[in-house]
Structure 1
Amino acid sequence: MHLPFLKKTVMADGSAVYKSKTSYLEVIQADAKDLNSTVIFKAPAFNGHEAYEVEIRGEATLAAEYAEYWLRWVSVEIGTGFHPDTRAEDYVPGLPSTLNKEYDEMIGFCFENIDDPYKVGLDAWGKAGLIDSAPSAPGM
């Protein structure tokens, strides 16, 4: 299972736990040797988004869930200065060092696994109260 920037720990019972240092996400895989085993995706709350836990089967589904959660989290973490086309080194002020190290690769991962990263980021801002999420009339 390729989920970038998640640290894997194999437990005594044969399960695996993957944790993120930046977004505090946790993925628990029932059987570390079976890539098709059930996984539990635990997403902690952040501004405008409640914590949730979901059972997932299939690596592609898990990758999409991880990408969307991370993108929502980073959109709120950086704030309205966030833009998916901006490289980590171009943010002023700079990103925290841990986020800076993973940012560019994770943005690429998001574009590979999410249909519309821009829409996801805007939705995250709206739910966090960073922008008015009410639709506007054409031309306004």
Structure 2
Amino acid sequence: MSLTVERGDPRDPAAMALLRQSHALMESLFPPEDNFFLDIDALTAPHIAFFVALNEGQTLGTAALADKGAYGEVKSMFVSEAARGLGVGAALMARLEREARDRLLPTMMLETGNVLYAAHRLYARAGFTKRGPFGDYPAAASSIFMEKRLG
């Protein structure tokens, strides 16, 4: 596999398909008030860097970093079911961290669902640790909050 991670457009049909799969999964697992994903149009905002993971032209995953000024927030991290376990998530996380460091952000933060165990493992391997709610997030029972200080 020759995996690359590059800037992408969330309105690209392949990226949109993955984002829709991600949204459908979140809607099937969590109540509406506990779904905090960004819609596709919101991912085109100037403060958001959107990335796709590609293998031979096929889009395998998506991820975004929202520049919140004092920190970068991981958003829209999703890997196609067929590509899970192949290092796609780790490659996307590494690219998000590089983006955060390039922007001189001191910390990366994220909110994820409490039953997304594979995501928890990915984030922990990338150096994230649990923390309390941040930003405008409520202390939802179905949310886990994590951060990684970039030093």
Structure 1-normalised TM-score? 0.35
Is the helix fraction higher in 1 or 2? 1
Is the strand fraction higher in 1 or 2? 2
